[in-house]
Structure 1
């Protein structure tokens, strides 16, 4: 962890808004969570829609749906990891 303080200082000098985001993390995670719920609903609705009758377009449609599901799963995973580090880990560290 040598140099972590200087890395954090450099990061804060380049992006001072990170401090504001960390002060309002409940609101940031709330908005992100609602956005993920809406995106999941839209993804679910779009997966029920039929793809084109043209074989090439139908293949591309299925590929895009698959990519969308994978990206959504990755986004949800990142959200859960971030929520763990932002909310759960500090409580675990206080009790230890």
Structure 2
């Protein structure tokens, strides 16, 4: 038997990691600045923006950022769903590696989803409440 199950699961892991990076940008643009201001750390936010002026650009383009991150999250979720029952190799070592990679991929996806939801809350919902 080939290691196609391992390759499919590894591809699923890489898509989840890419989604993690895409959705973490939603935290940088929206959640972290809002949290700093809410904690009274405006000077820290000012320092952050002076060191990383790209934060302002990300905040100005948050709709596109969330659309791209959401598309990456949806694609990764679809790949996760498609590969959830992919066969793993018969060799016990490869099978265990396949199952571990599948579980790690699912965990990374859940963390990515959490980042996206937290960023979305601070970018779109919280401004409407206060």
- Give me the TM-score of the superposition, normalised by structure 1: 0.89
Q: Aligned pair 1:84/2:121, yes or no?
A: yes
1:15-54 deviation digits (Å, cap 9, x = unpaired): 1011011011111001000000000111122222111110
Equivalent residue number for residue 72 of structure 2: 35
* Structure 2 stretches lacking a partner, 5+ long: 1-38
Equivalent residue number for residue 73 of structure 1: 110
SS in 2 for 1:48: coil
Q: What's the Cα RMSD here?
A: 1.1
* Structure 1 stretches lacking a partner, 5+ long: none
- Runs of 4+ in structure 1 deviating by more than 2 angstroms, as ranges, are none
More contact order relative to length (CA 8 Å, sep ≥ 6): 2
SS in 1 for 2:87: coil
- Give me the TM-score of the superposition, normalised by structure 2: 0.67
> Number of residues paired by the alignment?
92
Alpha-carbon shift at residue 60 of structure 1 (Å): 1.1
Structure with bigger gyration radius: 1
SS in 2 for 1:10: helix
